[in-house]
Amino acid sequence: MKILIVEDDLEAAAYLSKAFREAGIVLDHASDGESGLFLATENSYDVLVIDRMLPRRDGLSLISELRQRNIHTPVLILSALGQVDDRVTGLRAGGDDYLPKPYAFSELLARVEVLGRRKGTPEQDMVYRVGDLELDRLSHTVKRAGREILLQPREFRLLEYLMKNAGQVVTRTMLLENVWDYHFDPQTNVIDVHVSRLRSKIEKDFDQPLLRTVRGAGYMMKDEAAG
């Protein structure tokens, strides 16, 4: 995966470059809005990570300009403004995801990976499969090794989101955002409890674990047997 980071804080950019490279992601860096626009237009990236406040051209105007030029690369907005309204304006300007500063790198990495693979995950897939677990989006049924597992509606949506992003880390806030459509910090371990309930339903009576806890980051659906 190749991404572009537009960030004027050079120290933060250097840290991000190193961390992303260690995670196996190729990265270009622009330190102001205009050169960001140039790079994003000239080259092809999987994800753009754009700081909201930039010299020479601010982040939101950069995104609108890209969208006007018909460049639809997924954009993650980084911002020191973390209020409800700021998120809304960011997404309205054409951003695909919004992460308030300060953030954990694991959170940023997880979101960038999900955005970058978005293209490859056909939304129209009617059945998600991970190992012997099967989720039918049309009939709202979940089967493991042919045996039906009964889930609550919210548990179904939780599993659906996890399976859609199988092989990738999803964080607690990503789950809260995508399954409950809330963007605040739940503070307590509400999400963990939901996940562990779901896990007990899909892993009880089976040897092979499918839902891993990634320490310090979140969760990942993965068929460990398949490697």
**Window 50-89: contact mask with another protein (x via CB under 8 A):** --------------------------------xxxx--x-
The Cα–Cα gap between 6 and 54 comes to 8
Q: Is 200 in the site for another protein (CB under 8 A)?
A: no
8 Å CB contact between 112 and 203: no
Q: Is 208 in the site for another protein (CB under 8 A)?
A: no
Nearest to 49 by CA among 24, 75, 28, 83: 75
8 Å CB contact between 148 and 141: yes
8 Å CB contact between 170 and 158: no
Nearest to 84 by CA among 186, 187, 227, 183: 183
Q: Is 193 in the site for another protein (CB under 8 A)?
A: yes
Distance spanning both ends of the chain, measured CA to CA: 20
For residue 196, the minimal CB distance to another protein (Å) is 8
Measured from the CB atom, the residue of 61 and 196 that comes closer to another protein is 196
Measured from the CB atom, the residue of 104 and 127 that comes closer to another protein is 104
Q: Is 182 in the site for another protein (CB under 8 A)?
A: yes
Q: Is 150 in the site for another protein (CB under 8 A)?
A: no
Measured from the CB atom, the residue of 126 and 193 that comes closer to another protein is 193
8 Å CB contact between 170 and 110: yes
The Cα–Cα gap between 149 and 132 comes to 12
Measured from the CB atom, the residue of 56 and 154 that comes closer to another protein is 154
Measured from the CB atom, the residue of 41 and 189 that comes closer to another protein is 189
8 Å CB contact between 77 and 63: yes
Number of residues that bind another protein (CB under 8 A): 23
Q: Is 183 in the site for another protein (CB under 8 A)?
A: yes
For residue 186, the minimal CB distance to another protein (Å) is 7
Q: Is 184 in the site for another protein (CB under 8 A)?
A: yes
Q: Is 197 in the site for another protein (CB under 8 A)?
A: yes
What three-state secondary structure class fits 223?
coil
Q: Is 11 in the site for another protein (CB under 8 A)?
A: no
Question: Residue 79: enclosing H or E segment and its boundaries?
Answer: strand 75-79
* Contacting residues toward another protein, per CB under 8 A: 82-85, 88, 100, 102, 104, 154, 180, 182-190, 193-194, 197, 216
